[in-house]
Amino acid sequence: MVKKIYFPEIASTNDYASENIGSIEDRTVIFADIQTKGRGRNGRHWFSGKNNLSASLILKPQLNFSQVYKVNALVHYTAVVLARVFKKEYSIETRIKWPNDLMAGFKKIAGILIETVITGESLQGVIIGTGVNLNLDEKSLKKIGRPATSLNVLLGKEVNRDEFLDLFLKEFFLQYDELLMQGFSLIKEEYKLKSMTLGRAVKAAISGKEYSGIAKDIDDMGQLVLDCNNEEKIINTGDITC
Ligand code: BTN
């Protein structure tokens, strides 16, 4: 059972979750109609129009410090879950741009911002911030400034946000416990099949240095393996362009 906390308007559901992590129960979702300061990955702004999905799922898995790395698999798992929902429930094919952007064609339809709150050696919680373009009009999509699309545009009709949220949560908890036990290997093959990055020429930054190469694999930790003129580079964080 997931507890839901709703706000008509909030600065950012991720900020609310991290500021109140101590008093929020495990398996709670915070969601809002409007975010005034929605945050994306790498300090970017996230455009959160009304009737989109702006939600943060708070999880408090019982992991000791040596097992905290297991939450990394949630980055990829959440993307796989969203791709499954788009396909199963709306017949929309999406691909995953490493590590966790959901793309319909070459346009972004959803993004995920995962944050962990750690005090000393103890994991207070994981915040899975999920933004899905459900009901954006063409004018708002243009304002985003990067190629983006929205589920209503692809379907030609309005999408019910609350229904989408329930479908997402249902799919998420189908394999959540298993994922925490098994890690990325549980979904590795499915993730690779849904990847739009593999096989492409990509650019990635590691410690301020830019590398160009062909994305040749995703390893057992969900890291991107680049072939840079026969030299292997492992990318574990940051953004890629392709
Ligand atoms: C990205 O692709 O850059 C990640 C976007 C994540 C946006 C969501 S919307 C709900 C949650 N609250 C935020 O401020 N950000 C995330």
Ligand 1 atom at minimal distance to the Cα of residue 13: 12
Token pair 């906390």 in the structure block, residue: 5
Measured CA to CA, the distance from residue 26 to residue 187 in angstroms comes to: 23
Q: Is the CB of 55 under 6 A from ligand 1?
A: yes
Angle of CA points 62, 66, 67, to nearest 5°: 45
List, for residues 39-91, the tens digit of each pLDDT value.
999 889 999 888 899 999 999 999 888 888 889 999 999 999 999 999 999 99
Is the confidence at residue 239, as pLDDT, over 90?
A: no
List, for residues 102-127, the tens digit of each pLDDT value.
999 999 999 999 999 999 889 999 99
Is residue 129 helix, strand or coil?
strand
CA of 206 to the centre of ligand 1 (A): 23
pLDDT of residue 209: 82
**Which of 130, 149, 240 is the pocket-test mutation for ligand 1 (most atoms within 8 Å of CB)?**
130
Question: In this structure, are residues 204 and 237 in contact, taking their beta carbons and an 8 Å threshold?
Answer: no
- Cα Rg, the chain, nearest whole Å: 17
Is residue 84 helix, strand or coil?
helix
CA of 18 to the centre of ligand 1 (A): 13
- Mean pLDDT lowest among 62-66, 128-132, 145-149, 164-168: 62-66
